[in-house]
Chain A
Amino acid sequence: MDTWNILPQLLTSGITFGAIYALVGLGFVTIARASQIINFAQGEFVMLGGMITFFFLNKIHLPYPLAALLAVLIVVIIGFLLHLLVIYPLRKASLPILLMATLGASLFLSSASALFFGALPKALPPFSARTPFEIGNISVSPQSLWVLAAAFLTLFSLYLLSHRTLLGKAMEASSTDPLGADLSGISRNLMIFLAFGVSAGIGSVAGIFITPIFYVSYYSGTLIGLKGFIAAVLGGWGKHSGAILGGFALGVVESLSVAFIPSGYKDGVAFAILLLILYFRPKGILGSPFIDSRRW
């Protein structure tokens, strides 16, 4: 009966995690929409956001907001560099090659990060009050609310970007109809370039918001990246709303599972969900514009 008591608490932490997965998933979707590429280095953007902020805050002693801003900028530049140095040279390569290249980039970024920033996990101070407040018998840390806010703000900004700005619409056009967009003068490579920047930005923001709650270390990127991808697939691969829904769904299920199975298996839950969803409904909960239902 004890299990039922801690469920609400688990639910809350699940929602917090869910928001992070949603943000990471959005990063994946942004790049995939522009280029059909899955960027396995996405998790590293998240990790670097937290890491670099920590560096500027504690080693260079910049004020917190400035450190965060600089970190986002630097990660965005890293995203651009990733495109220029890895993706663009391989633009005509086959799928396994691209896959390996992003995995290689992920390896490089995480190990280089261990080199520069050291192997110890780092934490950032929370944005506002440190003390959690109580709702009923659940304690919610204010940082969680910041995380939720970040998720929805990002979703909203992405929505504005793709539906209201010319640039965003160009990116959408490039993904739905590459040839047509190309003929209309939209450079596909430029769109992909920008998509990498946007994804890097989203990832780094997620990292900065989540590090005050959970530590960041050089290896945390890979796992978070994978889970974010699983979230995007779960919700409906290729849709922004899918990434959000999948993120929260994954976060909640994963957190709640701890009540029922030994905690060591927690990371396996996401992968089990992945296998289940790929087997039963690869399109995801909300359906996917990318997956041809005929042959599945």
Chain B
Amino acid sequence: MVDQVHKEFRKRDLLYSGALWLLSLIIPDPQLHYRREYQFRKRDLIYFLTIIALPMIWSDPHFHHIMVLAGIHAILALGLTLFLGYAGQISLGQAAFFGIGAYTTAILTTRYGVPSFFAFWASALTASFFAYFIGRPILKLKGYFLALATLGFGEIFLVIVRESRGLTGGVIGIFDIPYFSLAGFIFDTYLKQYYLIWGVLMGLVLFSKNLIRSKMGRAFLAVAASEDGASAVGIDVSRIKIRVFVIGASFAGLAGSLFASVMSTANPETFSLNLSVLIVMMVILGGMGNLYGPIAGAIFLTYLIDGLSRYQEYSLPIYGVILILLLIFFPDGIGTRLRVRLIYLISYWGRKRRREKVEP
């Protein structure tokens, strides 16, 4: 008799928590703003240590492979988050800068024998260059038109790459790009590449975090909140926009270089609009105004895509639907909702406990 009552409870619990969980998806977020990331806290150290320890705990090479890809996506997302998440400007061209970086490294290493370390920095510089020249006219635009202009730039990049067979190998691309090497140490396994890429990412995170907590970060946010207000306090809005754009592009260039050194090939189909869309999704899901969120978003979406590839030709439609659903349910990022849900769940269980204690 007592057992039956206990079982009933369990079923109802699940139902209630499930319903509460679903409800929390729709109920607006009660004042749970992001805490502003002022200092480096223990939390940052924990993240860093986790990243370092992860592949040693999980030595499955497939896991390493996915995390390598996720790391590259994370660098792309980090660059974009400064532009989109903090400064509030939309760019659908991140994939193009990624491609510029990749091709720069590919051409320099395969044709001119430049060591990958130098090609790495050259890629960042090239991407920054292009970002500067494209940015100056484009960044005067706002909203949809800026998005469209960056999209246009991305498409033009693709067309040029496909047509310049001499330089970029056209539609086929460039092969046999050497692995990244530093002082004789060659990064040829997924494990080594993991540490390379996530090491670079951590460095970039440090840099970005410093930017965010300095006056530059405030300037980005100011530009996003009110351009008039920002210029009224002396912030040169167009200069800031160009600066963030260039920084985001340089990150993408670095990611491109790493990508080329890891995948050993570069071809235009990788650097499509779909990739730019994916990166924007990572930033949105991670939450605007957040540094670690988009990185988590990168890991999540990379895994999602890998998981979907099982479904072959169904993978793209499913991806499209999931994209839309994620946007509808998590417009402020997955992290926000998680906290709300956690609180709802905890308070529910807490109340249940109290009830159980009272009724003997």
Question: CB atoms of A and B under 8 A apart anywhere in the complex?
Answer: yes
CA distance A96 to B159 in the complex (A): 25
CB distance B160 to A268 under 8 Å?
yes
Q: Confirm or deny: B184 has a beta carbon within 8 angstroms of a beta carbon on chain A.
A: no
Q: Confirm or deny: B143 has a beta carbon within 8 angstroms of a beta carbon on chain A.
A: yes
CB distance A104 to B159 under 8 Å?
no
Q: A94, A109, A282: which contacts B145 (Cβ < 8 A)?
A: A282
CA distance A135 to B360 in the complex (A): 97
Q: Confirm or deny: A66 has a beta carbon within 8 angstroms of a beta carbon on chain B.
A: no
A278-B149 CB under 8 A given contacts A111-B320, A268-B160: yes
Chain B, Cβ-Cβ closest to A275: B152
> A interface, by DSSP: helix, strand, loop or mixed?
helix
CB distance B156 to A272 under 8 Å?
yes
CA distance A148 to B55 in the complex (A): 62
A111-B317 CB under 8 A given contacts A93-B331, A278-B148: yes
Number of residues from B at the complex interface, CB < 8 A: 39
Q: Confirm or deny: B321 has a beta carbon within 8 angstroms of a beta carbon on chain A.
A: yes
Q: Confirm or deny: B19 has a beta carbon within 8 angstroms of a beta carbon on chain A.
A: no
Chain A residues with CB under 8 Å of B156's CB are: 268, 271-272, 275
Q: B148, B277, B324: which contacts A274 (Cβ < 8 A)?
A: B148
CB distance A275 to B324 under 8 Å?
no
Looking at B6-14, B133-141, B254-262, the stretch in contact with chain A turns out to be B133-141
Q: Confirm or deny: A262 has a beta carbon within 8 angstroms of a beta carbon on chain B.
A: yes
CB distance B320 to A275 under 8 Å?
no
Chain A residues with CB under 8 Å of B151's CB are: 226
CB distance B163 to A262 under 8 Å?
yes
Closest-CB distance, B274 to chain A (whole angstroms): 7
CB distance A229 to B148 under 8 Å?
yes
A99-B147 CB under 8 A given contacts A86-B324, A104-B320, A105-B320: yes
CB distance B159 to A97 under 8 Å?
no
CA distance A30 to B163 in the complex (A): 36
Chain B residues with CB under 8 Å of A296's CB are: 140
CB distance A278 to B313 under 8 Å?
no
CB distance B274 to A107 under 8 Å?
yes
Chain B residues with CB under 8 Å of A85's CB are: 324
Q: Confirm or deny: B218 has a beta carbon within 8 angstroms of a beta carbon on chain A.
A: no
CA distance A114 to B317 in the complex (A): 9
CA distance A97 to B328 in the complex (A): 9
CB distance B90 to A96 under 8 Å?
yes
Q: B138, B280, B317: which contacts A275 (Cβ < 8 A)?
A: B138
Chain B residues with CB under 8 Å of A267's CB are: 155, 159
Q: Confirm or deny: B185 has a beta carbon within 8 angstroms of a beta carbon on chain A.
A: no
Chain B residues with CB under 8 Å of A100's CB are: 277, 280-281, 284, 323, 327
A89-B328 CB under 8 A given contacts A96-B280, A104-B323, A107-B274: yes
CB distance B327 to A264 under 8 Å?
no
Closest-CB distance, B186 to chain A (whole angstroms): 37
CB distance B317 to A90 under 8 Å?
no
CB distance B148 to A96 under 8 Å?
no
CB distance B324 to A115 under 8 Å?
no
CB distance B320 to A95 under 8 Å?
no
Chain B residues with CB under 8 Å of A95's CB are: 90, 143-144
Interface hits, B237-254 → A, CB 8 Å: none
Chain A residues with CB under 8 Å of B84's CB are: 96
A279-B137 CB under 8 A given contacts A105-B320, A111-B316: yes
Q: Confirm or deny: A253 has a beta carbon within 8 angstroms of a beta carbon on chain B.
A: no
CB distance A107 to B149 under 8 Å?
no
CB distance A108 to B317 under 8 Å?
yes
Closest-CB distance, A45 to chain B (whole angstroms): 16
CB distance B284 to A99 under 8 Å?
no
Chain A, Cβ-Cβ closest to B88: A96
CA distance A188 to B109 in the complex (A): 57
Q: Confirm or deny: A6 has a beta carbon within 8 angstroms of a beta carbon on chain B.
A: no
CB distance A105 to B90 under 8 Å?
no
8 contacts between A and B (CB under 8 A): A90-B327, A107-B323, A222-B273, A264-B162, A268-B159, A278-B145, A278-B148, A279-B138
Given contacts A99-B90, A264-B163, 20 further A-B contacts (CB under 8 A): A38-B148, A85-B324, A96-B280, A96-B284, A97-B331, A100-B277, A100-B323, A104-B277, A105-B324, A111-B317, A115-B313, A226-B151, A233-B148, A264-B162, A272-B152, A278-B137, A278-B145, A278-B148, A278-B152, A279-B138
A interface list, Cβ under 8 A from B: 38, 85-86, 89-90, 93-97, 99-101, 103-105, 107-109, 111-112, 114-115, 222, 226, 229-230, 233, 262, 264-265, 267-268, 271-272, 274-275, 278-279, 282, 296
